[in-house]
Amino acid sequence: MEVRQILQLMLSVNLKKYILVFPTRSIILSVFPKKKDLLSQWRGYADNGKGVSIGFRFDLLYDIIGIPSKSHGVNQAVGQAPTASTFILGYENIIYDTGGIKAIIEQILKDNGTSELDAMSVKELATTIKNESFAEEHETRITYTPDNPHQTDPNEIIDKSLNRLSEQKYRISDNRMVPYFELDYSNQTNSLFVPEIVLGPKCKLDKNVVEEFLRSNQFDSTKVSKSKSSYR
């Protein structure tokens, strides 16, 4: 069942009305698949295999960069149901199964108590759910929700991460103007945060030259390897 069909079945007419009214925005800042060497990813996102895959340590994302998890300690890997996000900026695992999506919507409708908050919370889910046909990506996203209804008070964690966010900028893509933000990933522990880079199956970069480049930019122990994927 499609996500859109689930929403149609679960949401009341009144709630659908509020969803259309509220201008809540959720902006995807960065997208990270959990598999470092997946052929579909090389084809779709790395210049048909000519690019590289940069590996990040997500378990250190908060300690090094200050970006918190939006899942509040929920371990989706062992089947715990995620909850509605309350952080304005953070990372979370994408949900592909319909059961997980239903569980989140049910929790929203149970907890908030008003159609306004329900509508804004459901709209925020747009960046955290995806069709199950993309499940092999095992994707994690960093998202920014400026109008998050749950967070109205000052928060030291969020203030720290927002300092890494640029002012809103704009770019042209496919004849459309798209707003975006730049997120600063610079830190003092480069190789700890970026332990590995994989060269794509069609990548023409010389491994030794890439290693020299990394060392010259203080990525002294970042490992460089060649993709094991094949186009044949």
pLDDT digit string, tens, across residues 45-91: 999 999 999 999 888 888 888 888 776 444 444 444 444 455 678 88
Q: Which residues of the chain have pLDDT under 70?
A: 1-26, 71-87, 98, 100, 108-126, 147-157
Residue 70: the pLDDT is 72
Q: State the pTM of this model.
A: 0.73
Residue 49: the pLDDT is 95
Alpha helices, DSSP H only, in 24-150?
A: 39-45, 98-111, 115-124
Position 6, amino acid:
I
Residue 206: the pLDDT is 97
Distance in angstroms (rounded) separating the CA atoms of residues 155 and 25: 20
SS3 category, 141 = strand
Residue 84: the pLDDT is 47
Radius of gyration for the chain, computed over Cα atoms and rounded to the nearest angstrom: 20
Residue 187: the pLDDT is 79
